[in-house]
Structure formats: C-alpha cells, structure tokens
Chain A
C-alpha cells in the first residue's frame, strides 16, 4: 500500500518536473524568437532601403541639386536631360554645416556644464535639481524642442528659419545626453591624478585644464560625436524651426543666418511626393544619411578604442 503511494508521488513529481522542463524549452524558444524579431527587423529595414535605392544612388545624386521630376534621378535618362540629374547635394552640405555649428555650441555648453557638475558642484539641492532636470530634459520629445526653437530663436531673437536657429535648437536637444556622457568621462579620471596636481601646487582650474581634461578628452569626444550623429538624423525639430523643404543650392558657408536644406527634411519631402518613383529617391537619400551616420559612429568607436588605455 504505502509503496504504491510512494511511487505515485514519485510519478507525480517526475511528471511535474517533466512539465517544468517542457515549459522551460517553450519559454527559451519564445525568448529566441523575440530576440530574432529585433534582428530580423533591422535586416529587413536595411535590405528594404538598399533594395529601393539600388540603381538610383549615383555619383550625380551626391553632386546635384534636387529636382521635382523623378526622371531626373534615373541614371538612364541623364543623357537627354538639359537640366542635369537631380540629387541631394544642397541638403548634404546643409546637414554637414548644421552639424558642425551644433558641434561648436555643444562642445562649449556640454563640457562646461559637465565640468561644473563633476568638478565644482557640491552635493546640494541645487545640484540635485539640475541633475534631475537634465534627466527629464532627455525625455522631452524632439518636436517640443522644435517649438522652443521656433518661438525663441526664429521669432523672438529674429534669427528666422536659419542655420543658426536650427543649430541652437539641436544643441539644446542633445545637451542632456552630452552632459551625462561627459560627466561619465570626467568621473573616469582617477582622483589620484587630481590630488597629485594639487599637491604640485596647481589651482583647481589648472588641474582641470592640464590634468583632467586631457585625460577625459577621448571619452568626451566619443560622447559628443555619438550625440551629433543622433542630431543629424533629427527631422521634427528642424521642420518646426522651418528648414526649407527644397533648396537648389548649398547654404552660404559664411552666413549662418541664411536658409538651408538638411538631409532628413529633404528625405521627408521626397517620401511625401505622391509619384511612386520618389520612393527610390527617398531611399537613395536615406543611404546617404545612414552613411554619414555610420561614418560618425565609426569615428567615435575608433577614438574610443585608440585611446582607451584600460582596454
């Protein structure tokens, strides 16, 4: 009798173990499927864009102003065209100029703010408030920054829908990320180096300038380049600021108060064109945008690997 119930119990527990194992396998399968969904989506996205752009992305596309006629973008038609092929040139130059300007403002404000928070600020309500505020700013939708830029830089300061207004808007947009990453780079500088500098009689500013900053520069650069590569793809803020839908010439490099075209805006304009052929043009534009982005990311990774002594 008792032995029978014993095996029953054993059977039951064996069954439940087996069931648990089966659940485990199903669960692992689900996890693998979930993980592959993200990767498949990425592959599909890249394949789709490359496929659509195939044959449309030519050297002429990079070096000519855009056109309203889709035939202008088809390489086979170039010979018959009096106007020359259509391309992304003004937007490409506009984007690079925009990012260069943004980089200057970001470098000054971002590094300055991070130095204050890491090197000077003492633990206080004000410091904690500033840091919480920065964390919150990072979550503000980019289109709201666009509204800010429209009201403050474009209208109130009278900069108009200009490169400088767009650059200032993008600077405020990426500032929270840049500050956090620069703080991390500064934090990674060992305290012993600061103490050695103080011990040698250096002042706080001399220590920051001669010891802390040189040590932290690779980390700071990496963070800034990664943030800028995010900014170069932002469309919503520059739409609100009033970037030109289509410009036929690159912006004047000596006059940042002029109007400008930028790649994401140009891609948006192409994607909204009703003619189906413009889908290929938009895809070709996306490849150019993603290539610039990739180049910036590669630079950041190169800097990180080149100067990372701990690696």
Chain B
C-alpha cells in the first residue's frame, strides 16, 4: 500500500492574493538563508585566512611548534601548540564521556524500568542545557581545588580540569543518542538471545551493543566534535598559555581559547592578530566539519534496518 500521496493543493483560486502565489518563494527564501549561512561561513573564513597566509607561510603555520603571534620582535605562527591543547582536551574528555556515557546508555536502555528512564534521561540532558560558561566557572571553583588538594603544585589553570569538565558536558550527548540507538534494537533480537540461554549481561554486550553500533559511533563522533569546538569552559579552565607538553597538570591553550583571547582584546582590523582569528577559525571549522560528515556517514553506512 505505498501509493504516492495525491497532492490536492492548488496554487490559488480566482484572484488569489499576491501572498498566495508568492508564499512558496518567500518560504523558499527563508530556507535558502541556511545555505547562504554555510556559504558565508566558508567565504568569510577562507578570505580572512587568505589574508593571513599572504603574510605567514602555510608551512610555518602547519608545522611550527611555537605560537606567539604578538611577540613584538619575532612573532611565530606555528599552530601546533594550539592544536595540541585542543587534542589533549578532546582526548581527555572523550576518555571520560565515552565509557560513562555508554554504560549509562546500556543501563537506561537494558536495565532501568520505564519510570527510572523517564526521570534519569531528562535529568542528564539538563547537563547539555547548562551554558558552557557555567562549566568554566565550575572547573575553576570546584574541580581545580579538588585536583589541588591531591596535587598541591597544580596551578589554577590546567588541562586536566578542563578535560574533566568538558567530559561531563558531553556525557548526555553520548548517553542520549546511544540510548536512542539501543532502544531501537527490536526486542525479537533480545528474546532470541534469551531463548538460547544468554544472560542479561551477554544480551546487552553481545547483542544490543553490536546491533546499535552505528548509532553509538555516530554519538561518539558528535560528542568529540563538540569537545573540539567547545570554547568558554576551556578558556576559563585550561588557560591561555600555548605550549606542547605531556603533563596534564600544565596550563595550555586551545584554538577556541586563543580566539576568545583575541576577541576580548579588541584586535584591530588588518592586524595580524585579527587575521589569525580566521586562520584558526578555518582550521577549527574544517576539523569539526569532517567529524560531522563522518558522523552522518557512519550512521547511514552502517545503519541496521529492522522491520
């Protein structure tokens, strides 16, 4: 019974209104704004970055290990320290959010009864609705003091605190999307496994988890992409010292935190600081764009179709 729906609509009766005939195009223009937004983002970033790269070689930018754009005598423009800071926060937060979020999703989908799920899931989603500036404050006033209690030599700004707080922030992204994926696994699969004598643990980890893998992976990638673009929490918690170090207790700077530093410092148009905003912005955009496309691809490529 899959006939094409018949379109009964007519454009206009007798005189109609101008609006009646124009409505479609007005609404189309609204939809077009979203496409124009993407175009504008790309044009703005590429144009600004082109200005920057007319003064700084791409090679120096991509391979330099020192980021000191405002050093008066000999500024250096190696983006690697900022990329390193971003990577440390991203990997650190993923190490927290992925196991915690996945186990939470398994509990909510497989173990919790309906009432528990209906209260816990929205409660966790509140975490996603809290402004990121609040997470930055939380890192400074709560998490860093706890770290300092165990390691008194740790400074106010440190990567660990930032990674923890970003990790907490993206837990609901992992848990909610994974839970949706797990809940959509049909019960017949579970019952078949139980019929073979499987325990709940085996059903959860060997049937439901693999069956919903594409949705779970998509959730991971989205959460990681979110961590890369996260700004205020890392600006407040991680600090503003671009450096490549393996110590999680060290102050660092992420790409986004650098952008805030320039943004609050009133960079004048045409200055190298202003132009560097767009080069960093383009780098950030390309990274998150690839992850978002990857997430969509994984979801469609490995989707298990049921029914």
> Which A positions have Cβ atoms within 8 angstroms of B?
20-21, 23-24, 27-28, 30-35, 37-39, 41-42, 44-45, 48-49, 52, 108-113, 115-117, 119-121, 129-130, 132-137, 139-148, 150-152, 155, 172, 175-176, 179, 191, 194-195, 198-199, 201, 203-208, 229-230, 232-236, 239-240, 242, 245, 264, 267-268, 271-272, 279, 282-283, 286, 289-290, 293, 297
Question: How big is the B interface, by class?
Answer: 35 or more
- Bound Cα distance from A17 to B131, whole angstroms: 47
Chain B nearest CB, measured from A182 CB (Å)? 11
User: B31 contacts A130, CB within 8 Å?
Assistant: yes
Known contacts A39-B120, A240-B259, A116 near B293 by CB under 8 Å: no
Chain B nearest CB, measured from A203 CB (Å)? 5
Other-chain residue from A24, A116, A245 in contact with B31 (beta carbon distance below 8 A): A116
B191: chain A residues at CB < 8 Å are: none
User: B296 contacts A142, CB within 8 Å?
Assistant: no
Chain A nearest CB, measured from B194 CB (Å)? 13
Given A135-B292, A233-B131, 17 extra CB contacts under 8 A: A20-B202, A34-B99, A34-B100, A35-B107, A113-B27, A116-B28, A141-B230, A143-B284, A147-B45, A147-B278, A152-B40, A155-B269, A191-B5, A230-B129, A233-B133, A233-B134, A289-B134
> Which B positions have Cβ atoms within 8 angstroms of A?
5, 8-13, 16-17, 19-20, 23-24, 26-35, 37-38, 40-41, 44-45, 47-48, 99-104, 106-108, 111, 120, 123-124, 126-127, 129-138, 140-142, 168, 171-172, 175, 199-202, 204-205, 222, 225-226, 228-232, 235-236, 256, 259-260, 263-264, 266, 269, 277-278, 281, 284-285, 288-289, 291-293, 295-296
User: B34 contacts A140, CB within 8 Å?
Assistant: no
26 CB < 8 A contacts A-B: A33-B103, A35-B104, A35-B107, A38-B104, A38-B127, A42-B126, A45-B168, A49-B137, A112-B30, A130-B32, A133-B34, A133-B38, A134-B34, A135-B292, A136-B293, A137-B34, A143-B284, A145-B41, A175-B33, A175-B34, A205-B17, A233-B131, A235-B132, A235-B231, A236-B260, A293-B129
User: A38 contacts B142, CB within 8 Å?
Assistant: no
User: B11 contacts A203, CB within 8 Å?
Assistant: yes
User: A293 contacts B131, CB within 8 Å?
Assistant: yes
Other-chain residue from A42, A147, A208 in contact with B123 (beta carbon distance below 8 A): A42
Q: Which residue of A lies closest to B156 (CB)?
A: A274
Interface of A is mostly: helix
Other-chain residue from A21, A42, A135, A146 in contact with B296 (beta carbon distance below 8 A): A135
User: A38 contacts B172, CB within 8 Å?
Assistant: yes
User: A109 contacts B199, CB within 8 Å?
Assistant: no
User: A268 contacts B133, CB within 8 Å?
Assistant: yes
- Bound Cα distance from A271 to B235, whole angstroms: 11
> What is the count of residue pairs linking A and B with beta-carbon distances less than 8 angstroms?
280
Chain B nearest CB, measured from A211 CB (Å)? 12
Known contacts A142-B229, A235-B231, A45 near B288 by CB under 8 Å: no
Q: Which residue of A lies closest to B175 (CB)?
A: A38
User: A204 contacts B9, CB within 8 Å?
Assistant: yes
User: A143 contacts B229, CB within 8 Å?
Assistant: yes
B137: chain A residues at CB < 8 Å are: 49, 267, 271, 279, 282-283, 286
A109: chain B residues at CB < 8 Å are: 30, 33
B13: chain A residues at CB < 8 Å are: 201, 203
B102: chain A residues at CB < 8 Å are: 34
B225: chain A residues at CB < 8 Å are: 139
User: B168 contacts A38, CB within 8 Å?
Assistant: yes
- Bound Cα distance from A146 to B284, whole angstroms: 13
User: B20 contacts A42, CB within 8 Å?
Assistant: no
A203: chain B residues at CB < 8 Å are: 9-13, 16, 20
User: B138 contacts A267, CB within 8 Å?
Assistant: no
Other-chain residue from A38, A141, A208 in contact with B171 (beta carbon distance below 8 A): A38
User: B199 contacts A229, CB within 8 Å?
Assistant: no
Other-chain residue from A49, A148, A150, A229 in contact with B134 (beta carbon distance below 8 A): A49
Chain A nearest CB, measured from B290 CB (Å)? 11
- Bound Cα distance from A270 to B73, whole angstroms: 33
B37: chain A residues at CB < 8 Å are: 137, 148, 172, 175
User: B260 contacts A143, CB within 8 Å?
Assistant: yes
Chain B nearest CB, measured from A206 CB (Å)? 7
Other-chain residue from B5, B34, B256 in contact with A179 (beta carbon distance below 8 A): B34
- Bound Cα distance from A49 to B171, whole angstroms: 20
User: A235 contacts B131, CB within 8 Å?
Assistant: yes
B292: chain A residues at CB < 8 Å are: 135-136, 139-140
B10: chain A residues at CB < 8 Å are: 198, 203-204
User: A144 contacts B41, CB within 8 Å?
Assistant: yes
Other-chain residue from B33, B201, B228, B266 in contact with A27 (beta carbon distance below 8 A): B201
User: A297 contacts B129, CB within 8 Å?
Assistant: yes
- Bound Cα distance from A119 to B8, whole angstroms: 12
